[in-house]
Chain A
Amino acid sequence: MKEVFINIERCTACKSCEIACSVEHSRSKDLFTAISEYPLPIRRVHVEKALSFSYPVKCMHCSDAPCMAVCPTGAMYRDEEIGSVHVNKERCMGCWMCAMVCPFGAITADPYMKIARKCDFCRKKVKEGGRPSCVEACPTDALSFGDVDDLTKRKRASAAETVAKAASMAKEEGRKVTPLDLLRIIGGI
């Protein structure tokens, strides 16, 4: 199953994902007309600052999703094909019990319909083989999309690369390459 991975170190708070998400959920799917639509399209990803970092907050499509458990109308459901969690607009009554238990704050209130809105994983695009719009829009690869195995493999590769770079730096400086030195150079401590 494919997932969106978030790399907090790469996020620069440019908010491209927010814009792309709004456009994706607009009627016209065009930035310049979307901003004058009524009702305004609602984005489901929010870039929040956290200490010296920024972080795109969105639904993580949890496997043991508390929002699904708590939903009294059965409006929260999982698309078994791609594993994503969705709100059935016809069933949602805007009681906000999902918001009460979501540890990510990923539920957005629809101010017009007074119901819960959240990341829908760009379900149609993903099922047709595409990537979610936020991922497409991210210029720094803070958001990436892929198979969990692929992504962890990529993560291992990039860790290896960082360590290798640090090792060669240490060598150039004529230092002994101890793990502690490496960590210092990478900035781990």
Chain B
Amino acid sequence: MKIVIIGNGPAAISAIEAIRQFDMDCEITIISKEGEPAYTPCFLHRYVSGEIGKERLYMREDDFYDRKRISTIFGVAVTEVMPMNNKLRLSDGRELTYDNLLVAAGSMPVIPKREGIEGEGVFAFRTISDADRILRSLKESKEAVVMGAGFIGLEIAEALSLMGATVTVVEKEDRILPRMLDGEIAEVVKRHVENKGARILTGRSIEAVKRTKNKIKGVMLDNGEIIPCGMLIVAAGVRPNLEMLKNGSIKTNQGILVDDHMRTNISNICAAGDIAEIEIGGTRKVNPIHLNAVKGGYIAGCNIVGLDTRLDSHFEDMNVVTLFGLSVLSLGTQSGERVLKKRDSKGIVKVYLNEKGRIQGIQLLGDVTRGGVYLSLMRRGIPVADRPYTLSPYPNYGLVFAGIKTAR
């Protein structure tokens, strides 16, 4: 059996480990357009700030591909998938056949159309080469603007400001981390980041990039204000890498549509990770987080070697990010019928409940080490309406009652 994997991120690595756990003999080829061994982008900002070296980004030991008996084709992109004859076309002109294909090509930053956005001085922040380009550009300019105050935008803003740059983050929503936090917690984090030296503008959008000759001079906001800068980093969301699926025989929506086994509509093709849009019990979801990539890759790998493995349910929206030493964790959706809140010397716990008293959303600020306990309470649908002590993951009447306020 000849297995081909497109992509070399967490989903691909997890699939390789699953396959090799059960089958050491089948032939596996992995293709990645990047020349690097598998790495996680999760800590790229710490590489930019100089806190860690490049070697710390790699997810596995140097001999991983040899030990797992994987043929690698790195630095070459797949330009077309041709399911009719089980073939791939590569950017170097080669063609490659497969018996089983896993598409784990991840996603790419969205660069919104704006006047002047094309050209030098504008960067995405996704890959090691993006990080290296930003580092080179930092030598020439110490003024940066970041488009988007999601966790990726704020992480790169922190890194740049630690490198001595003047940074302004522009966010079109009314608060930072809009997909993770509600207004109140977002405000606490915003103030913390601003105190550490990065400027943040919410409710503003970047309308144009100003250049003289080709060089970037600044960005213009929707209110006409011009922020001078030598580089613009775009962190305005990601989109699955679907370009290689030109002929349309693999079904897609926002991502490649797969079932709970990570199978596409074509029986010998699976997809997993950021590129996949998983359909379980009628709901579809693209979930570009690390955990989803690892689990999806594992499930795809198991199914490729003939084990019947599936994902029971979608992963909740979840993320945890640390900005200038302050950690913030978010699970689920930050809205609901009722709010429970606790604040003490360790930080803030804020829980949203639905009308049945079940947890819908959780935000932890400061001490995030109990996050998983709340996740498990939320997953099991444990009602807490009449039992606010559940706010402490380990219920303790006396102590916890004292600290609880029911907002709204």
Contacts and interface: CB of A to CB of B under 8 A. Distances in A.
A90 to B, nearest CB: 9
Interface string A38-57: 00000000001111000101
Contact of B59 (A72, A95, A102): A72
Contacts of A74: 59-60
Nearest to B64: A74
A30 B254 CA distance: 59
Contacts of A142: none
Contacts of B22: none
B147 interface: no
Nearest to B396: A49
Contact of A103 (B56, B327, B372): B372
B320 A96 contact: yes
B368 A100 contact: yes
Given A95-B43, A95-B320, A100 B372 contact: yes
Contacts, number: 94
Contacts of A185: none
Contact of A99 (B319, B370, B376, B394): B370
A162 interface: no
Nearest to A48: B394
A101 B375 contact: yes
B373 A109 contact: no
A80 to B, nearest CB: 13
B160 interface: no
A166 interface: no
Given A95-B320, A100-B331, A55 B394 contact: yes
Interface in A103-120: 103-105, 107-109, 114
Nearest to B293: A72
Max chain A CB contacts within 10 Å: which of B319, B320, B395?
B320
A114 to B, nearest CB: 8
A130 B291 CA distance: 36
Contacts of B290: 70, 72, 97
Nearest to B398: A49
Report, as a range, how many residues of chain B touch the other chain: 35 or more
A72 B10 contact: yes
Contacts of A96: 320, 322, 327, 329, 368-369, 371
B252 interface: no
B56 A69 contact: no
A69 B294 CA distance: 7
Given A50-B394, A70-B294, A103 B322 contact: no
A5 to B, nearest CB: 19
A120 to B, nearest CB: 16
Contacts of B295: 69
Contacts of A105: 369-370, 372-373, 393-394
A101 B372 contact: yes
A51 B373 CA distance: 16
B20 interface: no
A103 B375 contact: yes
Contacts of B10: 72
A73 interface: yes
A50 B42 contact: no
A83 interface: no
Interface in B283-325: 290-291, 294-295, 298, 318-320, 322, 325
Contacts of A98: 372
Interface in B18-65: 40, 42-43, 46, 52, 56, 59-60
Interface of B: 10, 40, 42-43, 46, 52, 56, 59-60, 290-291, 294-295, 298, 318-320, 322, 325, 327, 329, 331, 367-373, 375-376, 393-397
7 contacts: A50-B395, A73-B43, A99-B369, A100-B368, A103-B373, A105-B372, A109-B367
Given A72-B42, A72-B59, 8 more contacts: A49-B396, A98-B372, A100-B372, A100-B375, A101-B375, A102-B372, A104-B373, A107-B369
